[in-house]
Amino acid sequence: MISNVLLYITAVLLVITYLYAVIAGNPVYSALSMGAAFFLTSFLFVLLGAPFLAAVQVIIYVGAMLVMFLFIIMMFDLNKTSTGTVRYKPSTIFSYFLIMVVLLIAFFMAKGVLKMPEGFTIVGFGSAENIGFNLMRYYLLPFELASFILLVGVFGAITFIKKRDKE
């Protein structure tokens, strides 16, 4: 009961914070709003009984990515360029809307597949042990492939920097 109420409050706050992240004119506000949203997402994971995901969400998104965002924003001092809220072109808003509709359709189509059976619980669901066990036993190949893709990304970034150095 209480967790349901908290869930809805969190969901509403999530929508507000993400929306503000998009429309805020000041990029620092935007980034901080996104940080709040990341944090709320991790709270959502806690409510769903996945503390490991919650912790990792905060560590990676808030601790690494957002710090990086803020670093870049402050480095280039973007705050002088704009104040108030961003005004989007109608075409942009329309394309955003279309993407949202597509995602919603996809969500409702997948709902039947994703739906958990009633009373379905795993002992220690979402715990670090369980995730590690599954990741290393059943999903080892996708896991390693994902890490390989990230590695390629790192190489790409380094290549770009090297190229610029030569010029």
Partner 1 sequence: MVDYITVAIYTVMSVVVFVLILTTVAFLTLAERRISAFMQDRLGPNRVGPWGLFQPVADGIKFIMKEDITPLEANKLLYTLAPILTIIPAMLTFAVVPFGHDLFLHGRVINLQIANLNVGILYVFAIASMGIFGIIIGGWASNNKYSLLGGLRSASQFISYEISMGLAVIGILMVYGSLKLNDIALYQGSLWFNTIPKWGILVQPLGFIIFLVSVFAETNRVPFDLPEAESELVGGYHTEYSSMKFAFFFMGEYANMITASALIATLYFGGWQVPYLHNIGFIIPKFGIVHMQQWLVAIIEVLSFVIKVGFFLFFFLWVRWTLPRFRFDQLTALGWKVLIPLGILNIVITGALIMLRII
Number of neighbouring beta carbons within 10 Å of residue 139: 13
> Read out DSSP for 89-135?
-HHHHHHHHHHHHHHHHHHHHHHHHHPPPTT---TTTT-HHHHHHHH
Contact between 71 and partner 1 by CB under 8 A: the answer reads yes
Find the binder of partner 1 among 22, 99, 104, 128 (CB under 8 A).
Answer: 128
> What sign does the dihedral 158-66-16-88 (CA atoms) show?
negative
Alpha-carbon distance 82 to 26, whole Å?
6
Residue of 14, 30, 34, 35 that binds partner 1 (CB under 8 A): 35
* Site size with partner 1, rule: CB under 8 A: 24
- Comparing CB distances to partner 1, the nearer of 25 and 63 is 63
Task: Kindly state whether residue 7 participates in binding partner 1, applying the rule CB under 8 A.
Answer: no
Give yes or no for residue 158 binding partner 1 (CB under 8 A). Answer: no
Number of Cβ atoms within 10 Å of the Cβ of 20: 17
13 token code pair: 């706050």
Going by C-beta distance under 8 Å and a sequence separation of 6 or more, which residues neighbour residue 55? 42
How many Å apart are CA 136 and CA 149, to the nearest integer?
18
Select from 14-22, 46-54, 111-119, 159-167 the region that touches partner 1 (CB under 8 A).
Answer: 46-54
Give whichever of 10 and 127 is closer to partner 1, judged by the CB atom: 127
By CB under 8 A, residue 27 contacts partner 1 = no
Assess 127 for contact with partner 1 (CB under 8 A). Answer: yes
Only segment of 4-12, 61-69, 107-115, 147-155 that touches partner 1 (CB under 8 A): 61-69
Nearer to partner 1, 14 or 32 (CB): 32
Site residues for partner 1 per CB under 8 A? 28, 32, 35, 39, 42, 51-52, 54-56, 58-59, 62-64, 66-68, 70-71, 74-75, 127-128
